[in-house]
Amino acid sequence: MPKKKANFETDIARLAEIVEQVEDGQTELDVAIALYKEGLTLAEKCGKVLSRYEEEVLILQKEDEKNP
Question: How far is residue 38's CA from residue 14's CA, in Å, rounded to a whole number?
Answer: 9
State yes or no: pLDDT of 61 exceeds 70.
yes
The string of pLDDT tens digits covering residues 10-58 is 999 999 999 999 999 899 999 999 999 999 999 999 999 999 999 999 9
pLDDT: is 33 or 64 the higher one? 33
The one-character DSSP state at 58 is H
57's enclosing H/E stretch is helix 29-66
d(CA 68, CA 11): 37
- Is 0.85 surpassed by the pTM of this model? no
CA 32 to chain centre: 18
Q: Which pLDDT value is given to residue 3?
A: 53
